[in-house]
Amino acid sequence: MKNLHQRLTSKLRQREKGGNLRSLKSYSGYTDFFSNDYLGFGNSIQFDTIHSNNVGSSRLIAGTTDLHLQLEEYCAGLFQNGKSLLFNSGYSANLGVLSSLPQKDDVILYDERSHASIKDGVRLSLAKGIKFKHNDFSDLSNKLIKNSQSTVFVVIESLYSMDGDFAPLQEIYNICEKYQAYLIVDEAHSGGVFGENGSGYCAEKNIKPFLKLITFGKAFGANGACVVGDATTIDYLVNYSRPFIYTTALSSNDTSLILQQLKRTDYKIKQDKLQSIIAYFNDKFDRFSIQSDSISPIKSIVFRDRSTLRSLETELHKQKIGVKAIYAPTVPENQERLRISLHAFNTFEEVDRLYTVIEKHEID
C-alpha cells in the first residue's frame, strides 16, 4: 500500500518548486485592492435586529423560517423572476443547479473561463459537458447546431472574475432563443454593482435568462446566494438539488442581514462612486495593456514571467497594498496575472500609490 502522506508531500513540493504553493495569511491593515466587496457594504454592516444564530436544520426539516420565505420572495421581485431559492454560497448554488437539472443525454455548454464551481457542477452532472471558446458566440452557435437533438443548457458568467470582461449577453441570449437552449447566467460579480437597486447586469440589459445565480458574499456585503427562475424549476430544485436538500439552512442572522443589505437605498450612490474610481484607474493606468472592460471593477494585468509577478506582489505587500497575484492552475500558466479589485471606498490617492509601485516593474 502506498504511503498517502508521501504522495501529498510530493504534490505540495511540486507546487512549492513551481512557485505557486497556496497558503493562508491575514492581510489586516492593508489597503484593499483584492476583496470582492465592490460597494463597501461589507465594511458598513449594522444589524437592525439580532436573531437566533442558527436554525439547526436543513430547509426541508425544521430550517425554514418566515425570514427565509420573506427573503426568497423579495429576491424574486428584485431579480425579476417568478421565484427564488436560497443557497449557502454561490459555489453550492452552481453545484446544486448543474448537478440536478441537466439529465443523462442532455448537454451543458459552458464558457471555457467559467468559475471552478460551474466546472465542478458540470462534472457532477449526468449530462455531457462541452466547453466553448471564451465569449465566442460563433463557437457557441456551432456547438448548439451539433447538439440540436439534445436538451441543451448554456452556462456563462455575466462578468468574469479573472479577466474582468463581460459576456456578450444579448448575442448569447439571442442564440439560445434561436436554438431553444436554456441560458443560465452566474451574476456573482455583477449583482449589486450594476442594475437598479443592485439588480444585476442582466436586469440592466433587460435580458431574462432561464436562470440567474446571485451571490450575496461580494457586492452585497453579506453571505449566501440565491437562484432565481420560474416556479416549476425552483420547485424542482427544492426536491432534487442535493446541495440544497442536505445542507443546514442559513442562520436567521445571515438571512436577516441579506434582506437588510438588499433593501439599502444607497446603491446608486455607491455604484456612481465605484465608477468614478474605475474611471480614475483607467486614466492612470492607460499605458498598461489591460484587457478588462472599461466599466468593470476587476482589472487584470497579465505577466509572462512568474518571477516578475512574484516580485511585484511581494513589493506591494511590503507597502501594505492588498493585491493578489493569480497563478496557475487558477489561470493558464501563460496568463498569470495581478488581479486588482476596485471599490467605492478606494480613494484616488490609494490608486496613485498602487500605480507608483506597479510602474517600477517591467511588464511584458
Residue 330 sits in a domain whose CATH number is: 3.90.1150.10
148 and 202: one domain?
yes
The percent of residues in the chain predicted with pLDDT above 70, rounded, is 96
SS3 of 125, please? coil
Answer yes or no: are the C-beta atoms of 257 and 327 closer than 8 Å: no
276 and 147: one domain?
no
Per-residue confidence at 50, pLDDT binned at 50, 70, 90? low
275 and 256: one domain?
no
* Mean predicted confidence (pLDDT) in 24-52: 82
Per-residue burial over 9-41, b = 16 or more CB atoms within 10 Å of its CB, e = otherwise = eeeeeeeeeeebeeeeeeeeebbbbbbbbbbbb
Per-residue confidence at 239, pLDDT binned at 50, 70, 90? very high
CB within 8 A of 92, min separation 6: which ones? Answer: 117, 225, 243, 244, 247
Q: Which pLDDT score is estimated for 362?
A: 60
249: which DSSP letter? Answer: P
Q: What secondary structure does DSSP assign to 318-332, as a single string?
A: HTTEE-EEE-TTTS-
CB within 8 A of 342, min separation 6: which ones? Answer: 33, 38, 274, 277, 278, 281, 297, 298, 299
Q: Which pLDDT score is estimated for 209?
A: 98
Q: Minimal CA–CA distance to 244: which of 115, 116, 113, 72?
A: 72
| Mean pLDDT across the chain | 94
* Mean predicted confidence (pLDDT) in 274-282: 98
In-domain check, residue 50 = no
Q: Which of 168-172, 234-238, 357-361 comes out lowest in average pLDDT? A: 357-361
Per residue in 72-126, pLDDT (tens digit) is 999 999 998 899 999 999 999 999 999 999 999 999 999 999 999 999 999 999 9
Measured in degrees and rounded to the nearest 5, phi and psi for residue 154 equal -110, 125
256 and 288: one domain?
no
199 and 334: one domain?
no
CATH of the domain at 241: 3.40.640.10
In-domain check, residue 52 = no
Q: Which of 55-64, 144-153, 234-243 comes out lowest in average pLDDT? A: 55-64
Q: Which pLDDT score is estimated for 51?
A: 54
Q: Which of 262, 296, 315 is the last residue of a domain?
A: 262
299 and 285: one domain?
yes
76 and 89: one domain?
yes
- Let me know the angle formed at the C-alpha of 178 by 177 and 181, rounded to the nearest 5 degrees: 55
Per residue in 165-174, pLDDT (tens digit) is 999 999 999 9
In angstroms, what CA-CA distances link 227 with 83, 114, 137, 249?
8, 17, 24, 15
In-domain check, residue 9 = no
Per-residue confidence at 47, pLDDT binned at 50, 70, 90? low
* Nearest-10 crossing angle of helices 267-284, 348-358: 30
Q: Which of 238, 262, 286 is the last residue of a domain?
A: 262
298 and 194: one domain?
no
252 and 273: one domain?
no
Per-residue confidence at 267, pLDDT binned at 50, 70, 90? very high
Strand segments (E) across the chain: 31-32, 83-87, 107-111, 128-132, 152-157, 182-186, 211-215, 225-229, 298-302, 321-322, 324-326, 337-341
pLDDT at 137 over 60: yes
Strand partners, 186: 157, 213
In whole angstroms, give the CA distance from residue 278 to residue 220. Answer: 19
pLDDT at 18 over 90: no
306 and 284: one domain?
yes
Q: Which domain holds residue 223?
A: 59-262
Q: Which three cell numbers stand for residue 75?
A: 429576491
Q: Which of 262, 283, 303 is the last residue of a domain?
A: 262
Q: Which pLDDT score is estimated for 43?
A: 79
In angstroms, what CA-CA distances link 340 with 25, 36, 161, 199, 299?
18, 10, 10, 24, 5
Strand partners, 67: none
> Is the pTM value of this prediction over 0.85?
yes
Q: Which pLDDT score is estimated for 360?
A: 85
In whole angstroms, give the CA distance from residue 61 to residue 83. Answer: 21
Burial class (CB in 10 A: 0-12, 13-18, 19+), 180: exposed
* Mean predicted confidence (pLDDT) in 152-174: 97
CB within 8 A of 293, min separation 6: which ones? Answer: 159, 164, 165, 166
**Strands of the sheet with 337-341, listed across from one edge:** 298-302, 337-341, 324-326
pLDDT at 216 over 80: yes
How many domains would you assign to the chain? Answer: 2
Per residue in 293-331, pLDDT (tens digit) is 999 999 999 988 888 999 999 999 999 999 999 999 899
